[in-house]
Chain A
Amino acid sequence: MNIFRILGDVSHLLAMIILLVKIWRSKSCAGISGKSQVLFAIVFTSRYLDLFTNFFSIYNTVMKFVFLMCAYITVYLIYGKFRKTFDNENDSFRLEFLLIPVTGLSFLENQSFTPLEILWTFSIYLESVAILPQLFMISKTGEAETITTHYLFFLGLYHALYLANWIWRYQTENYYDQIAVVSGVVQTIFYCDFFYLYVTKVLKGKKLSLP
Chain B
Amino acid sequence: EQGINPKDEL
Assess the B7–A120 pair: CB atoms within 8 A: yes
Assess the B4–A111 pair: CB atoms within 8 A: yes
Q: With A and B bound together, what is the CA distance between A137 and B3 in angstroms?
A: 38
Nearest neighbor of A162 in chain B, beta-carbon distance: B9
Interface positions of B from 1 to 10, Cβ below 8 Å from A: 1-10
Q: Which residues of A contact B5 (CB under 8 A)?
A: 111, 177, 179-180
Q: Which residues of B contact A179 (CB under 8 A)?
A: 5
Assess the A67–B10 pair: CB atoms within 8 A: yes
Dominant secondary structure at the A interface: helix
Contact with B along A163-177 (1 / 0, CB 8 A): 001000000001111
Nearest neighbor of A1 in chain B, beta-carbon distance: B8
**Count of interface residues, chain A, beta-carbon cutoff 8 Å:** 21
Q: Which residues of A contact B10 (CB under 8 A)?
A: 9, 12, 60, 63-64, 67
Q: With A and B bound together, what is the CA distance between A174 and B4 in angstroms?
A: 12
Q: Which residues of A contact B2 (CB under 8 A)?
A: 175-178
| Chain B residues proximal to chain A, CB less than 8 Å | 1-10
Known: A12-B10, A67-B10. 9 other contacts (CB 8 A): A9-B10, A54-B7, A56-B8, A60-B10, A64-B10, A120-B7, A177-B3, A178-B2, A180-B5
Which 8 A-B residue pairings sit nearest by Cβ, starting from the closest? A177-B5, A56-B8, A175-B3, A178-B2, A63-B10, A9-B10, A176-B2, A50-B7
| Chain A residues proximal to chain B, CB less than 8 Å | 5, 9, 12, 50, 54, 56, 60, 63-64, 67, 111, 120, 162, 165, 174-180
CB distance from A200 to the nearest CB of B (A): 31
Q: With A and B bound together, what is the CA distance between A60 and B6 in angstroms?
A: 12
CB distance from B1 to the nearest CB of A (A): 7
CB < 8 Å neighbour of A5 from B3, B4, B6, B9: B9
Assess the A60–B4 pair: CB atoms within 8 A: no
CB distance from A156 to the nearest CB of B (A): 16
Q: With A and B bound together, what is the CA distance between A81 and B9 in angstroms?
A: 32
CB distance from A120 to the nearest CB of B (A): 7
Assess the B1–A175 pair: CB atoms within 8 A: yes
